[in-house]
Amino acid sequence: MFKRVPGTRDILPEEIAYWQKLEAVARKVFSLYNYKEIRTPVIEESALFSRSLGEFAEIVKKQMFLIKNKEDSYVLRPEGTASIVRAYLEGNLDKSGRFSKFYYIGPMFRLERPQKGRQRQFHHIGAEAIGSSSPWIDAEIIMVADAILKADQITGYSLNINTLGCPKDKLALVDMLREELKGKLGGLCQECKERFKHNIIRILDCKKQECRKVVKGLSIQDKHLCGDCRQHFNQVKRSLDAEGLSYEVNRQLVRGLDYYTRTVFEFKHDSLGAQDALGAGGRYDNLVKDLGGPQVGSVGFAFGVERLLLVSDLKKHGPQREVVFIIVLGDRAKDAGARLLSGLRAAGIAADTDYQEKSLKGAMRLADDLGSDLVLILGDNELEKNVVIFKDMRRGKQEQINLEEVVDKVKEKIET
Ligand SMILES: [Zn+2]
Ligand SMILES: [Zn+2]
């Protein structure tokens, strides 16, 4: 028998209800903040990501799902932002000079060793606000993310924020880090020794014990920030304060991708263990320009859907809508049963029947498995009297109703 590709999952119908609920909640929140959905292909040119995330980013170096043929090098998208900026430019949305707010929901792909909390195909819910450098939109993006967590009935999370500064400040940070770390290289993990050469800022967020110790001893505060970036960050904080959102300024919070500038943030949840981030985001003021567009500021975030589901209380709250189950006994009743089924569906009532032709007992069990509380039984006897047996399992009641009145009666029951 064939098996799933390692690092991928099937989401079976029993579980999909929660996914749909989570997605519906996110869509609702996005619409309240006037973010519009965008869908881009899962395949992109691989250069799009090496260009935007940086060729030394771990994703680009080690985790790209490459699809190569003679001429082309494509990749299964590892994240959403670069694709959306590409679509924004390709769709000429920059030409209108309009500020654009997008959201997206979909699968992402990274070729990594499958482990707890990390899949090769995983899902993101995210948003991008393209065309403004205003600190108020940083605050809004964080608020949207927070509103989604709350609407998904997630508690016990925390928000860390930081600013990396503009590209100039980032260079200053790199210089300062190089100066401070060069005598401490021996204490760093193998990967961070590599990062020291090309991706030094990333050392700040290495999860390894030995590196955490070294990083704790650094004197990095906000010395690398210019006046403008300082002011920008102060306004972001003031806006969050005004909204009553609690956060912690974490000077060691950085993001793994080159395109981030200024504000970065991360939502964490303790119960997730080592991979404790529910989602993260930040500002990327140069990405649009780097990909061939105008110089416009942008900010965004993404949540990992699998991680949200792990900590969401949505799961505890019952199944979806009711399905009315029709049990037809005997051949003569079959046509009438089929008409009844269509009648219910046409009236907007979800209905199903037993296609395995089980006995009454077997069919009742099937209805129970489906979580169906309303069962209609139609046999040759009933057909002769032009009635159906109507069982309301919730109330433990059973009655006979006229075939013509079934749809109305069922509707009434569902609504009460
Ligand atoms: Zn700056
Ligand atoms: Zn390290």
What's the domain count of the chain?
A: 2
**Cβ contacts of 353-360, under 8 Å, gap ≥ 24:** 353/325, 353/326, 353/327, 353/328, 354/325, 354/327, 354/328, 360/327, 360/329
Interval between CA 182 and ligand 2 midpoint (Å):
14
Mean pLDDT of the residues in the chain: 91
Nearest ligand atom owner, CA of 263? 1
Mean predicted confidence (pLDDT) in 63-82: 92
Residue 74 counted as domain residue? yes
Residue 176 counted as domain residue? no
Q: How confident is the model at residue 316 (pLDDT cuts 50, 70, 90)?
A: low
Instruction: Please give the model's pTM, rounded to 2 decimal places.
Output: 0.88
- CA neighbours closer than 13 Å in the CB half-sphere of residue 384: 5
Same structural domain, 50 and 119: yes
Residue 186 counted as domain residue? no
With a cut of 90, say whether residue 143 has pLDDT above it. yes
Same structural domain, 308 and 398: no
Interval between CA 187 and ligand 2 midpoint (Å):
9
Interval between CA 260 and ligand 2 midpoint (Å):
20
Q: How far is residue 154 from each of residues 117, 148, 149, 310, 315, measured CA to CA in Å? A: 18, 9, 5, 10, 11
DSSP string, 45-80: EHHHHHHHH-TTSHHHHH--EEEE-SS-EEEE-S-S
Q: Which of 316, 339, 371 is the last residue of a domain?
A: 316
Same structural domain, 248 and 392: no
Give the residues across from 303 on adjacent strands.
125, 279
Q: Find out whether 87 and 94 touch, Cβ atoms under 8 Å.
A: no
Q: Which of 287, 316, 345 is the last residue of a domain?
A: 316
Residue 139 counted as domain residue? yes
Same structural domain, 309 and 331: no
Same structural domain, 162 and 260: yes
Residue-range definition of the domain harbouring residue 48? 13-166+226-316
pLDDT digits (tens, 9 = 90+) for 16-67: 989 999 999 999 999 999 999 999 999 999 999 988 888 878 888 888 999 9
With a cut of 60, say whether residue 302 has pLDDT above it. yes
Interval between CA 228 and ligand 1 midpoint (Å):
6
**Which CATH number belongs to the domain containing residue 359 in this structure?**
3.40.50.800
Interval between CA 225 and ligand 1 midpoint (Å):
5
Interval between CA 201 and ligand 1 midpoint (Å):
16
CA triple 243-246-252, angle to 5 deg: 125
Q: How confident is the model at residue 331 (pLDDT cuts 50, 70, 90)?
A: confident
Nearest ligand atom owner, CA of 261? 1
pLDDT above 90 coverage of the chain, percent: 69
Same structural domain, 155 and 242: yes
Mean predicted confidence (pLDDT) in 347-360: 90
Of 321, 336, 353, 346, the closest CA to residue 387 belongs to 336
Same structural domain, 294 and 333: no
With a cut of 80, say whether residue 90 has pLDDT above it. yes
- CA neighbours closer than 13 Å in the CB half-sphere of residue 405: 12
Q: Which residue has the higher pLDDT, 113 or 383?
A: 383
Q: Is 193 helix (H, G, I), strand (E, B) or coil?
A: helix
Same structural domain, 142 and 231: yes
The Cα diameter of the chain in Å comes to: 93
Same structural domain, 387 and 284: no
Same structural domain, 28 and 58: yes
**Which CATH number belongs to the domain containing residue 282 in this structure?**
3.30.930.10
Q: Out of 32-41, 267-276, 297-306, 371-380, which region has the weakest mean confidence (pLDDT)?
A: 267-276
